[in-house]
Amino acid sequence: MKSLTRSLRILEAVAQHQPVTVGELTKIFGLPKSTVQRTLVTLNEAGWLRANRRDTTRWEVGARVLAVRPAALQGSSLFAAAREPMFRLRDTLNETIHLTVPDALHGVVVVDRVDCDHTVRTFHAIGDISPLHATATGHAVLAHLPKSEVDELTAGALEGFGQETITDPAELRAELRRVRDRGYAVNHNQYRPGVCAIAAPVLDEDGTPLASVAVSMPDSRFDPGRLAELGRLVTDTAADITARHLG
Amino acid sequence: MKSLTRSLRILEAVAQHQPVTVGELTKIFGLPKSTVQRTLVTLNEAGWLRANRRDTTRWEVGARVLAVRPAALQGSSLFAAAREPMFRLRDTLNETIHLTVPDALHGVVVVDRVDCDHTVRTFHAIGDISPLHATATGHAVLAHLPKSEVDELTAGALEGFGQETITDPAELRAELRRVRDRGYAVNHNQYRPGVCAIAAPVLDEDGTPLASVAVSMPDSRFDPGRLAELGRLVTDTAADITARHLG
DNA sequence: CATCACGTGCCACATTGTGGAACGCCATGC
DNA sequence: GCATGGCGTTCCACAATGTGGCACGTGATG
C-alpha cells in the first residue's frame, strides 16, 4: 500500500510545517509536483486538510482530524477526567504537568499539558513521542505491564541519551520493581539533559496502565530532599484521575 | 484517488467504533475482507492504528494521531490559552463550557470541554461536528466572516433541525448582524432540542474568527432574564482567551 | 516586456492496489 | 472426537488505479 503510506506521510508533513505550499512539500519529499498536488486535493476533499484562509496556496490541517481520537481518550474520557487534577497539581507545585499515553511504537505520547509560570520551564509539545525506557512516564507505564510485554518492548537495544539512561535490561527491570514498590517513577537526566520528572500511572480496573501523569521541571529547581513529597503528590493526582475516570 | 479516500473512511470508522474487528468493518462498508484487512495493516504500519491489547483482532486508533494537530491548535496555542478562562467561566456558572473551531466542511468542531457538575447536563464529545447555521458557536464564527464567505458557506439549503432552526438565508444574515452588535450568539433549541447555548468568538489580530467559546445548558436551567449577564460573561471569557493567545 | 517560479490540469502508461479463493485457527455442537 | 461454521489472514493474476512528465495560466521580478 505504497500510495496510502506516502499520503499519510504528506499529511504528517503538512501538520508539522503548516501552513505549507505544494512546492515546499515537493522539496521535502522529492516527489513530482503533480503527485503531491493530487494528494493534497484528495486529502482536502476528505476533510483532513484545508487551504489557509489568507494564502489559499498554503495548506493546513483541518479541525476534523480531532474526530479521530485514540481509544484511551474516547467517550467520557481519561482526558477530561485528568484535567482538574492536573490543574490542581500545577497550582500546588507551579511546575509543568504532562499527561501521556503509551503508544504501540515503543513510546509514550504527550496527550495533554498544564504549564507552570516560571520563565525557565520544560517543554514537550502535545503529540510528542518519548521512549519508554528513558522517561519517568515510560517507567510508570512499563512497571505495570506483564513481564512478557516489557520484555517485548525492551527487546531491541535500549538507546542511550546520556550518562543516566538505563541501557541494561536487567537494570531496567530492577528500576521498574522499585517504581512498582514506591508507586512513582523518577527521571533525572535520563532522556533530556537538565530535565527531571516524577510520574505515576493511571491504571484500568484490571491494572493495565492507561496513561501516566508527570510533573517535570528543570534540574535547577529539583530538590532531592522533596522527592518523597513530590512523589506522594503525583501519586495522589494519578489516583484522583483514576477515580474520576472509572467512577 | 479512490483508494486513499476509502482508506481514510476506514480510519474514521475505526475511530468511531473502536475497538473494531475486520469483519465489522466489512459489514459497515460492504467491502471485501481482504481489502479492509490490507488497509488496516498499512495504517498500522504507518502508526495510525494498533491492535487492541486484550483482543488483538480488534483495532483501535493509536495515540500517534495526536501528532497531527489542526493549525489553530498548534504551538503556544489557542487551546492552551483557552483553558484557564474556560475553567473560570465554568466555576462562575457551573455549566458546561465548550471551545470550538470552525472547519472547512461547513461546521464547527468541539475542541475542548469543561464539564459542570449538574446531573443533567449537555454533552458534546470532543471531535463532534455541528452545523454553522444552527448553533451559537457557529453563529459567533459566521458573524465575523466576510460576506462572501458567509454566502459560500450557507449556499446550500440550510438544514432544519426543528422549529427554531433558521433556514432562511436572509433571516440568518439578520441574526448574524444582531450577533455582531451584541457580541455574543444565542442558540435556543435551534440544533438539539432542549439545549440552550451562548457563544462568543475568539478573533485573530485582523478580525478573522479562530474559535468560539460557549456555555451550554439544558433548557430547564436557562433563565432568559439572565441572558445579558451570561452574554457578558461569555464575551469576557472570549476576550480573555484572545488576550492570552495574542499576548 | 521577458523571465522565472509556482500552482494547476491533462493523459498514456505500467505500477499499484484489488478481491476472489483458499488456508488455518478456534469455538460450537452433534 | 470429529464435522461445521465463522473469522482473521495470506496469496496472486488481473486490470483498475494512481503516476509523473509535460504543458498551461498566472503573478511576481528585473
Q: Which residues make Cβ contacts (< 8 Å) with residue B3, sequence separation at least 6?
A: A3, A4
Question: Does residue B4 belong to the interface with chain A, where contact is any CB pair within 8 Å?
Answer: yes
- Verify that A23 and A107 share a domain, yes or no: no
Q: Which residues between 140 and 199 in chain B have a beta carbon less than 8 angstroms from any beta carbon of chain A?
A: none
- Verify that B44 and B86 share a domain, yes or no: no
State yes or no: pLDDT of B76 exceeds 70.
no
State yes or no: pLDDT of B134 exceeds 90.
yes
A70-98 average pLDDT score: 85
CA–CA dist A201, B238 (Å, integer): 35
- Verify that A24 and A94 share a domain, yes or no: no
Residue with cell 476533510: A47
Q: Give A22 CA → C2 C1' in Å.
A: 26
Residue A246 pLDDT level (bands cut at 50, 70, 90): confident
Pick the residue with more confidence: A227 or A115?
A227
- Verify that A136 and A105 share a domain, yes or no: yes
State yes or no: pLDDT of B11 exceeds 90.
yes
Instruction: Identify which of A54, A61, A71 has the shortest CB distance to residue B60.
Output: A71
In contact, A164 and A131? CB cutoff 8 Å: no
Residue A185, helix vs strand vs coil: strand
pLDDT at A137: 96
- Verify that A149 and A221 share a domain, yes or no: yes
pLDDT at A71: 78
pLDDT at A84: 87
In which element (H, E) is residue A90 found? helix A78-93
**Lowest model confidence (mean pLDDT) among A37-41, A104-108, B122-126:** A104-108
Pick the residue with more confidence: A188 or A64?
A188
User: Which range among A153-157, B67-71, B101-105, B190-194 has the greatest average pLDDT?
Assistant: B190-194
* Domain stops at, among B18, B41, B67: B67
Question: Does residue A19 belong to the interface with chain B, where contact is any CB pair within 8 Å?
Answer: yes
pLDDT at B246: 83
- Verify that B33 and B105 share a domain, yes or no: no
State yes or no: pLDDT of B75 exceeds 60.
no
CATH number of the domain bearing residue A63: 1.10.10.10
For the stretch A85-141, pLDDT in tens is 999 999 999 999 999 998 766 789 898 888 898 999 888 888 888 999 999 999 999
CA–CA dist A212, B21 (Å, integer): 28
In contact, B112 and B128? CB cutoff 8 Å: no
- Verify that A15 and A127 share a domain, yes or no: no
Amino acid found at B129? I
Distances in Å between the Cα of B172 and the Cα atoms of A47, A98, A220, A224, B206 are 25, 43, 57, 62, 24
CA–CA dist B133, B106 (Å, integer): 9
Residue B86 pLDDT level (bands cut at 50, 70, 90): very high
Residue B104 pLDDT level (bands cut at 50, 70, 90): low
Closest-CA residue to B129 (of B101, B164, B169, B148): B101
Distance of CA B3 to the CA centre of its chain: 28
Please, how many CA atoms are within 13 Å of residue A56, restricted to the half-sphere of its CB? 2
What distance in Å separates residue A210's CA from the closest CA in chain B?
11
The phi, psi pair for B18, rounded to 5°, reads: -55, 145
CB-neighbour burial class of residue B27 (10 A; exposed 0-12, middle 13-18, buried 19+): exposed
- Verify that B104 and B189 share a domain, yes or no: yes
CATH number of the domain bearing residue B155: 3.30.450.40
Q: Give A104 CA → D8 C1' in Å.
A: 21
State yes or no: pLDDT of B128 exceeds 70.
yes
Proximity of residue A55 CB to strand D below 7 A: no
- Verify that B44 and B82 share a domain, yes or no: no
- Verify that A41 and A120 share a domain, yes or no: no
Q: Which residues between 121 and 140 in chain B have a beta carbon less than 8 angstroms from any beta carbon of chain A?
A: 125-129
Residue A157 pLDDT level (bands cut at 50, 70, 90): confident
Proximity of residue B4 CB to strand D below 7 A: yes
State yes or no: pLDDT of A76 exceeds 60.
no
For the stretch B196-232, pLDDT in tens is 999 999 998 878 888 999 999 999 999 999 999 999 9
Q: Is the dihedral of CA B87, B92, B95, B101 positive or negative?
A: negative
- Verify that B145 and B48 share a domain, yes or no: no
Q: Give B35 CA → C17 C1' in Å.
A: 9
Domain that holds residue A20: 2-67
CA–CA dist B142, B131 (Å, integer): 11
In contact, B200 and B242? CB cutoff 8 Å: no
For the stretch A170-224, pLDDT in tens is 999 999 999 999 999 999 999 999 999 999 999 988 788 889 999 999 999 999 9
CA–CA dist B233, B200 (Å, integer): 10
Please, how many CA atoms are within 13 Å of residue B209, restricted to the half-sphere of its CB? 29
Strand ranges (E), B69-204: 96-103, 107-114, 129-131, 185-188, 195-203
* Domain stops at, among B13, B43, B67: B67
pLDDT at A111: 85
Q: Which residues between 20 and 39 in chain B have a beta carbon less than 8 angstroms from any beta carbon of chain A?
A: 38-39
CA–CA dist B80, B68 (Å, integer): 16
pLDDT at A229: 96
When divided into structural domains, chain B yields a total of 2
CA–CA dist B151, B160 (Å, integer): 18
- Verify that B118 and B212 share a domain, yes or no: yes
In contact, B17 and B24? CB cutoff 8 Å: yes
**Quick check: B70 and A80 CB within 8 A?**
no
Average pLDDT over chain B, rounded to whole?
89
* Domain stops at, among A10, A44, A67: A67
Cell of A247: 467512577
For the stretch B172-190, pLDDT in tens is 999 999 999 999 999 999 9
In contact, B211 and B239? CB cutoff 8 Å: no
Q: Is the dihedral of CA A123, A129, A131, A136 positive or negative?
A: positive
Residue B2, helix vs strand vs coil: helix
